[in-house]
C-alpha cells in the first residue's frame, strides 16, 4: 500500500505533466513540491540516484519557471530545435557518465536497482533540460524513460507511483499531440 505522502507527490506530479502539456508555467511549482516529497521517499527506499534526481529536479523547476517566465516562451510553440547530431553528442558523454556512476554506486553503496536507477536519472536530467527549453524532443525521451520507470517503481513496491508512470506514458503521447496542435494553430494564425 502506498503512503499518504506518496499519493500527495503523485497528485502533484500528475498536475505537473498536465500543466506542462498545456504549457502552463505553474507546472514548475507542482513539480518542485512533488519532487521534495519524492526525494525523501526514494532516499528511504535506497534509490539514491532517484533521490538525487528529485533534488536536481527541484533546482530545474526553478530554472524552468524562470526560463518560461523570463523569455515569455509560453506564447511560443515548440519546435524541433536540436539536431540528431546534437542528441548523439549528448549520448556520447551521458552513457559513459551513467556507467561510471552506476559502477561507483554498485561498489561503494548499498543502492538498489543501480543500473536502471542511474540511466533513468541521467537521461531524465537531459529530458528535463529539454522541456525547460520547450523543445519538442523532450517528449520522445520521456516516452522511453517513463516506460522504464513503470517497471522500476513497480519492482520496488511503489505501486501508486508505477501506476502514475503508466498514466504518464499516456499523457506524454497527449502532450506530443497538444504541442503539435498548438504549433499548427500558431502557424495558421501567423499566416
In whole angstroms, give the CA distance from residue 135 to residue 160: 29
Q: Would you give the DSSP letter of residue 78?
A: P
Determine the average pLDDT of the residues in 79-106.
Answer: 92
Model confidence band, residue 96 (pLDDT cutoffs 50, 70, 90): very high
pLDDT the model gives residue 169: 95
Count CB neighbours of 61 within 10 A: 23
Measured in whole angstroms, the distance separating CA 173 from the mean position of its chain's CA atoms is 14
pLDDT the model gives residue 15: 93
Total count of residues recorded for the chain: 191
pLDDT the model gives residue 190: 66
- Out of 21-30, 32-41, 64-73, 149-158, the most confident range is 32-41
pLDDT the model gives residue 1: 45
Measured in whole angstroms, the distance separating CA 8 from the mean position of its chain's CA atoms is 17
Q: Are 24 and 74 in contact (CB under 8 A)?
A: yes
Tell me the average pLDDT of the chain: 88
pLDDT the model gives residue 112: 86
CA angle 121, 72, 135 (to 5 degrees): 35
Checking if the pLDDT of 77 tops 80, the result is no
Q: Would you give the DSSP letter of residue 77?
A: P
Alpha-helix residue ranges (DSSP H) falling in 45-158: 48-70, 84-108, 114-132, 138-155
Reported as half-sphere exposure (CB side, CA atoms, 13 A), residue 136 has a value of 18
CA distances from 101 to 55, 120, 124 (A): 17, 12, 15
Determine the average pLDDT of the residues in 5-13.
Answer: 90
pLDDT digits (tens, 9 = 90+) for 153-190: 899 888 888 888 899 999 999 999 998 887 777 767 76
Closest Cα to residue 32, out of 23, 22, 45, 19?
19
Count CB neighbours of 120 within 10 A: 24
Amino acid at each position: 500500500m502506498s503512503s499518504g505522502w506518496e499519493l500527495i507527490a503523485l497528485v502533484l506530479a500528475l498536475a505537473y505533466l498536465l500543466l506542462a502539456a498545456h504549457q502552463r508555467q505553474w507546472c514548475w511549482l507542482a513539480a518542485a513540491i512533488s519532487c521534495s516529497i519524492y526525494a525523501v521517499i526514494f532516499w528511504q527506499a535506497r534509490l539514491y540516484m532517484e533521490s538525487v534526481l528529485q533534488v536536481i529536479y527541484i533546482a530545474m523547476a526553478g530554472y524552468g519557471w524562470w526560463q518560461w517566465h523570463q523569455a515569455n516562451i509560453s506564447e511560443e510553440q515548440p519546435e524541433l530545435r536540436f539536431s540528431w547530431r546534437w542528441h548523439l553528442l549528448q549520448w556520447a558523454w551521458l552513457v559513459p557518465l551513467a556507467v561510471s556512476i552506476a559502477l561507483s554506486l554498485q561498489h561503494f553503496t548499498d543502492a538498489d536497482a543501480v543500473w536502471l536507477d542511474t540511466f533513468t536519472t541521467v537521461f531524465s536530467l537531459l529530458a528535463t533540460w529539454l522541456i525547460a527549453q520547450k523543445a519538442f524532443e523532450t517528449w520522445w525521451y520521456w516516452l522511453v524513460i517513463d516506460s522504464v520507470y513503470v517497471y522500476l517503481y513497480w519492482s520496488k513496491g511503489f505501486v501508486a507511483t508505477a501506476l502514475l508512470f503508466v498514466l504518464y506514458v499516456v499523457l506524454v503521447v497527449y502532450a506530443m499531440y497538444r504541442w503539435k496542435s498548438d504549433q499548427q494553430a500558431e502557424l495558421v494564425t501567423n499566416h
